[in-house]
Structures are given as C-alpha cells and as structure tokens.
Amino acid sequence: MTNTGTERVKRGMAEMQKGGVIMDVINAEQAKIAEASGAVAVMALERVPADIRAAGGVARMADPTIIEDVMKAVSIPVMAKCRIGHIVEARTLEAMGVDYIDESEVLTPADEMFHLNKKDFTVPFVCGAKDLGEAARRVGEGASMLRTKGEPGTGNIVEAVRHMRIVMGQVRKVVNMSEDELMAYAKDLGAPYHVLFEIKKLGKLPVVNFAAGGIATPADAALMMQLGADGVFVGSGIFKSNKPEKFAKAIVEATTYYQDYARIAELSKGLGEPMKGIDISSLQPKDRMSERGW
Amino acid sequence: MRIGILALQGSYFDHQNYFSHLNIETVLVKEPKQLEEIDGLVLPGGESTAMRRLIDRYQFMDKLKEFCNKKPVFGTCAGMILLSKVIVDNPTHIGVLDVRVKRNAFGRQVNSFEETINIEGIGNVEGVYIRAPYIELVGDKVQIIGKHNDSIVAVRQDNILATSFHPELTEDYKIGNYFINMIDKHKKEE
C-alpha cells in the first residue's frame, strides 16, 4: 500500500536537507543563483527578514505568484512561510504544492494562543524554538523539522548561538537524566512528556534541527554546525551582501567543511562587506521576533 | 570490511546508523583520498545539485569515477541520480550506471510516500520515497530488480546497486545485507 504524508515521509524530507544550506529568495533569479551555489532548498519570500523589519506593519504569507515563479525556476525543494496559527495560509501553500512550510515568527502571528495542528497536513512543517520546551511542543504538534529562532534580519549570530546552546544542553540533560526525573522536567519545560521520552530513547532530537536567525558569514554557519546544528538557514545574509553568488557558495562550503579552518579562511577571502547587522540590545522588546510563539 | 559514505551533504548519518546496526565499520568520506581506505561506497540521499557542486569544487569527480568502475557502490535517491548516465533535463554527474533517470519523478513533497515492494533476489523491502527519482530506460547490462507500479525503482549493474527509495530511513536491513554480500563477494574475487 502506498502511504503519503506519514511521519517518516515528512521527517525524512528534512533528513535529506542535512549538512546543507537553505536560502531565502524573493524571486526566480535569486532562486537560480541559490541553486547554482549549492543550496539544498530555497525559502520563497516577498521580503527577506531585514526588509520586513525595516518595512514594519503586518507581515503575511508571500504573494503566490512569487512562490510559483520560484517553484518553476528551480528543481530543489521550495519552502514558504505562513503566519503562526494561520490555518488558511498553510492550506493555501499546501494546495500550491510547496515542499515545506515554515510556521514562522518572522511573519506577524495570526493566533496568539495556538500554533497549527501540523499533524493534520500532508506537507511537512518546520518551526522555530528558543529552548527544548518550545521545540518539544512544536514536535508534539507535528513539526517535522526544527530550527533555532535566533533574531532574524539582524545579521547578528548571538541569539542563534544562545538558542542552540540552550536546546542542545537541555537535550543532553534529558538523555543523561534518570527516567524517574523525566516527568518533573517535562513539567518545568512545559514539554510534552512523550517527546522527551522519545529524545531520551533516541539520544537526540527526533527531528532535524537547523540553525537560523542572524547567520551572516561562512564562519557563522560553521560555528552553528559545531554547536550541533544539522544545517543552516541563511535569510537576509546572502542577497544583502555585495557579492551574493560568491557569498552563497562560501556559506555552503563552510557548512560542509565546518571543522576545516584553513579552508574556511580560504573561502572567506574577498567576500566584501557582509550585511551591516543590528546590536540586539538596541532592539525594543516588541521588535524581537524570537519572542513570538507560545 | 569498511563502508564509506559520501558525506558532502544529505542523509549520511542515517546511513551510518543503518550500517552500524549491521555491525559494519563506516567512514564518512569528505576527502577524495579517503576512497582508498574503503571496500564499498554509499552515495546517500540529499540534493544531487548541492552534492555535485561540492564534488566539482574539491576535485572529487575523477576519483569517484575510478572507484565506481571497480568497487561496489550503492546509490539511494540522489545517489542514484549521481550514478546515472542520462538525467532528464540535467547534466550527467558520475555517469557510470547505464540508465535514463528522471528527478522528482513522482512529484513534489506532498506526493512523497512509503511502500513495501518486492525486490528480486531479496524479497519484500520497505522503502521511503522522498521527491524520489525513477528510471525510465535501462541499458543491456542493467538488471531491473524492483518496480513501483510500472516505474523502475531498483536496479543492479555489476558492482553497482541503486534505489529510488531510502532504506536508511527504515529498520528493514535486507537491502543493506544485500550490499554487504556484494562487497564480500567482490573482496573474495579481488
């Protein structure tokens, strides 16, 4: 019997992306550059996070025309973002045939209580997390892939590092703790017990976990891999740099060879100015996208 | 016996776990010279375009061709694409498997599926198909060993084994054992 949309098929899709770079693009031309540079997937957007920040107002799902143009332009998987809890945006993207949906805090949330019941969908979802409680809640709702939230559109890696450190540290704690202690820890984290139990049994997260939110250089990408990321999302970093193509290739190579420092030095030469970046402490609490999600 | 897994991008850790279950020593191959240390090579699933760029960037191609022409190789999904001589609408990569393959042939991710099929000489094998390719045409030396409906999803050509699906995402180790037997046999003939 042929079964579509099973947990294995949805989580397996993310397994195939491992060790790779997923790039934000806003049109077919950028998508082609990303594919030629070795991206494993593209995220089709109307604006990259840095421009969403600058524009203000309500950020929504992209115009389907942009997503369709990108889908036609490349053979690698195409992802797209919907607002947190926006069932209809998600169903629309699924109907268009996008390969992965990011239920994303980069867009303005549609529901401040509930995330999507992602188990209901055939298309797989990726969600952001700052800690293991959040990560486990998203997996409990059916997310097939996770990513750190970081602080998108800032070009500042500090929040992505914080979130990856916290999640990986908490995973190690679960793996090493006595099973007697697991329920109390689930209560502390606000995490579904069965997901923590699965982590303990597997010795790792049950789904692929990428880094996202602030990666601006090849060294940033390699750093996130060393901290335990399975791959990286690069949003504003590539097409906000002076030499997008060279930059994209360098980030891909640094992600594969994240412990080969001589090579990282070589490929980091002459990349030009990376995006300027924002000091996180200068952001008002209301402007911190990572605070969105529950 | 030592199996190498091309570890440029994709599901190489899954293959490592899969073969560890069968008590086989594995090596993650990131440098061309590592090909000299292994008895068989797995080309994992992932994105073939991304892997190809890294293969070219670090002069892997000649060594890979040489290896695939003499030692046992197992390609899954993107790995099958890398091995194929003709790829519909795409340039050839390693080009040692005499077939015409079509990428994303079953459709996009929403059409990805899992299914158990009969593989000749192995039996029923569980497989996960993710934006999977299938083979449209085979050359004389290629043996078709598995089909999904009318589409060719598993083939054998001398020392080369290729599947559209991912056994490494399952706990069905039959096809892994089959590949280990291929390596055993090859080692004895050497």
Tell me the pLDDT tens digit for each residue of A139-158.
999 999 999 999 999 999 99
- Do A144 and A14 form a contact (C-beta atoms < 8 A)? yes
B2-189, CATH topology level: Rossmann fold (3.40.50)
What is the per-residue pLDDT across A155-200, written as a single tens digit (0 to 9) for each? Answer: 999 999 999 999 999 999 999 999 999 999 999 999 999 999 999 9
pTM of the model: 0.96
Active-site annotation of A, residues:
81
Confidence band for A237, pLDDT divided at 50, 70 and 90: confident
In chain B, domain spans: 2-189
State mean pLDDT over A96-120. 97
Chain A residues lying within 8 Å of B7, measured CB to CB: 19
Tell me, what's the pLDDT at A31? 97
Record the tokens describing residue A180, joined without a space: 């007697």
Print pLDDT tens along chain B (190 aa). Answer: 999 999 999 999 999 999 999 999 999 999 999 999 999 999 999 999 999 999 998 889 999 999 999 999 999 999 999 999 999 999 999 999 999 999 999 999 999 999 999 999 999 999 999 999 999 999 999 999 999 999 999 999 999 999 999 999 999 999 999 999 999 999 998 8
Going from the C-alpha of A1 to that of each of A189, B106, B119, B127, the distances in angstroms are 39, 16, 15, 11
For chain B, report the end-to-end CA distance as a whole number of angstroms. 14
C-alpha to C-alpha distance for A44 and A66, rounded to whole angstroms = 7
Per-residue pLDDT reduced to its tens digit, A256-265? 999 999 999 9
Q: Is B126 a catalytic residue?
A: no
pLDDT confidence of residue A272? 83
Q: Which distant-in-sequence residues (6+ apart) come within 8 Å of B17 by Cβ?
A: B168
**Are A38 and B45 within 8 A, CB to CB?**
no
Cα A162 versus chain centre, distance: 15
- CB proximity A75 to B under 8 Å: yes
> Nearest by CB to A16, which of B11, B49, B148?
B11
Helices A158-176 & A218-226 angle (0-180, nearest 10)? 10
Residue A285's pLDDT is: 86
Residue of B106, B109, B148, B153 best to disrupt the A interface, most CBs of A under 10 A: B109
Helix (H) or strand (E) holding A197: helix A193-202
Our CA-based measurement puts residue A9 at a distance from the nearest CA of chain B, in whole angstroms, of 6
Q: Please check the confidence at residue A235 and state whether its pLDDT lies above 90.
A: no
Nearest CB to A77; choose among B107, B113, B131: B131
